Amino acid sequence: MLRLKEFWQVNWQSNLRLPLTAIAFGLLAGGVFVLSIGKNPLAVYLAIWKSVFGSPKNFLDVVGQATPLVFTGLSIAFAFRTGMFNIGAEGQYTMGLLAAGIAGIKLAFLPGPLLILVCLLAGALAGGIWAGIPGWLKAKRGVHEVINTIMMNYIALYLTNTLILSDWLKAPGFQATHKVAAKALIPRFLGTTANWGILLAAAAVVVVYFLLWRTKLGYEIRATGYNPDAAEYAGINVSNRLLIALVTSGILAGLGGAVQTLGVKERVFQLFGFTGVGLDGIAVALIGRNHPVGVVLAALLYGTLYRSSAIIQLATGVPKQVIGIMQACIIFFVAAEEIIKLILEQLSKRRSVA
């Protein structure tokens, strides 16, 4: 019973209490900024609340905004577990967008359910291959994954734009591809951005959790992340586990891109810069403590902030950039873990004295 209590205290402190405190401080810092420009922070918080719970459609839109972030957050969290920093989820997500779009256009002769499956597999495979290149370089040649994955992001961006604007894919009058076949589309809920892809995201969360904490492979991946030298001494094939982890990470990001193409965009549009979904996935993984359930909660938080940015500007007159300030403050406080711990310890001491 004592061990269970100690386990709960440790997990509450590391996996829930610290992130929640960081989020509270981030929202408070955003409120201070709102106050400094002569606006009412309570009105901003109320607008955020209404943007989520004002109507069922509002909530579904938040879920729709969060869905791709669940995939990229899981992608980055999975790589983190092996001690690797996968900055390339952005490029892997982009390749998933592109591959699913191409499959949905060029393989339109396939029956509906099979076509959806093929499109999803194409996106996942494209993301896995894109991650596999820096993964192989890391595992076999020791080349640092951060540099390679950043470069792969740019290659994915320019390759996607080149193909989108080619005669092979470009739709007349659009800076985008033709629409994917109607039978390849994932149905939406009530005309919002939420779609049946959320079931796939939920399945990904369960699979990642089971793989990491309930299988031998997951144990070896986590052991490699904790101490690769000790893992190798214990007989674990470290280079193989690094490659598997990064490929799996890419599959998750690519699958997120495929769901976005089939469930929301319906075609692949020209990119005028990074989509930001893969890069925001880093923050989602960080806030979620690299745990699948934490990633879901952090993705919903980001979905809420995305959804509320325009509403805040319309309802309160506060610039929507305030949401960006709140996001940055939350990430800062999550990263500054020792500061949060110190604050919590001081508050606890004061309560004890009182």
The answer to whether position 253 is within a domain reads yes
Between CA 102 and CA 202 the distance in angstroms is 25
Q: Which helix (H) or strand (E) holds 313?
A: helix 292-316
Q: Which of 143, 141, 149 is nearest to 246 (CA)?
A: 149
Top pLDDT among 352 and 276 is at: 276
The fraction of the chain above a pLDDT of 90, given in percent, is 57
pLDDT at 6: 41
Above 50 in pLDDT, residue 9?
no
Residue 176 Cα distances to 19, 107, 195, 345, angstroms:
39, 18, 22, 54
The answer to whether position 43 is within a domain reads no
Burial (Cβ within 10 Å: 0-12, 13-18, ≥19) of residue 30: buried
By the 8 A CB rule, do 346 and 100 touch?
A: no
Cβ within 8 Å of residue 343, ≥6 positions away: 21
pLDDT at 240: 92
The answer to whether position 34 is within a domain reads no
Top pLDDT among 228 and 123 is at: 123
SS (H, E, C) 109-175: CCCHHHHHHHHHHHHHHHHHHHHHHHHHHHHHHCCCHHHHHHHHHHHHHHHHHHHHCCCCCECCCCC
By the 8 A CB rule, do 212 and 205 touch?
A: no
Between CA 242 and CA 86 the distance in angstroms is 11
By the 8 A CB rule, do 73 and 298 touch?
A: yes
As given in the structure block, the two tokens for residue 231 are: 């893992």
Mean pLDDT of 295-318: 85
Above 90 in pLDDT, residue 255?
yes
> Please, how many CA atoms are within 13 Å of residue 140, restricted to the half-sphere of its CB?
8
Mean pLDDT of 28-50: 86
In sequence order, the β-bridge partners of residue 177 are 170
Mean pLDDT of 234-259: 95
Cβ within 8 Å of residue 82, ≥6 positions away: 221, 222, 224, 225, 241, 242, 245, 246
pTM of the model: 0.90
pLDDT at 344: 67
Above 60 in pLDDT, residue 14?
no
pLDDT at 223: 92
How many domains does the structure of the chain reveal?
1
The answer to whether position 175 is within a domain reads yes
The answer to whether position 83 is within a domain reads yes
Residue 266 Cα distances to 97, 102, 188, 221, angstroms:
10, 11, 11, 36
The answer to whether position 31 is within a domain reads no
Quick: pLDDT tens for 40-89.
Answer: 888 888 888 888 888 889 899 999 999 999 999 999 999 998 889 999 99
For 212, the domain range is 68-307
Above 50 in pLDDT, residue 7?
no
Between CA 122 and CA 101 the distance in angstroms is 9
pLDDT at 284: 93
SS3 176: strand
Q: How confident is the model at residue 8 (pLDDT cuts 50, 70, 90)?
A: very low
Quick: pLDDT tens for 320-352.
Answer: 788 888 888 888 877 776 676 676 677 677 776
Quick: pLDDT tens for 205-220.
Answer: 999 999 999 999 999 9
Task: Kindly report the average pLDDT of the chain as a whole number.
Answer: 88
Least confident of 170-179, 232-241, 252-261, 306-315: 306-315
The answer to whether position 8 is within a domain reads no
Q: How confident is the model at residue 319 (pLDDT cuts 50, 70, 90)?
A: confident
The answer to whether position 86 is within a domain reads yes
Between CA 11 and CA 8 the distance in angstroms is 5
By the 8 A CB rule, do 296 and 158 touch?
A: no
Between CA 67 and CA 266 the distance in angstroms is 16
By the 8 A CB rule, do 246 and 175 touch?
A: no
Residue 40 Cα distances to 36, 45, 51, 306, angstroms:
9, 9, 17, 20
